[in-house]
Amino acid sequence: MLILTTEIRLNCNILYTSTLTPMHLRKAKLMFFYVRYPSSAVLKDYFPDVKFNKNNTAQLVKWFSNFRFVQYGLMISHLF
């Protein structure tokens, strides 16, 4: 019972932000190795401290697009 109370207290103390930080970028880079095309539900699971809106969602989509561009560019450059 004590553990359950602590979990609820921790969940109530989460600070939400709508601004993506360099730590979010680092987390997105690590996430990219597992998920190339994340859904919105997956993004919400990986970034529980972010209150999503159209701007920061677009920024995350742009990050993943850039990651794919660089990754596929590296793969093609190694072929030739």
Total-model pTM: 0.74
* pLDDT mean across residues, the chain: 84
- The CATH number assigned to the domain with range 2-79 reads 1.10.10.500
Tokens of 1: 């019972």
Domain boundaries, the chain: 2-79
User: Which has more confidence, 6 or 22?
Assistant: 22
From residue 30, how far is each of 11, 34, 40, 45, 67 by CA, in Å?
A: 24, 8, 17, 14, 11
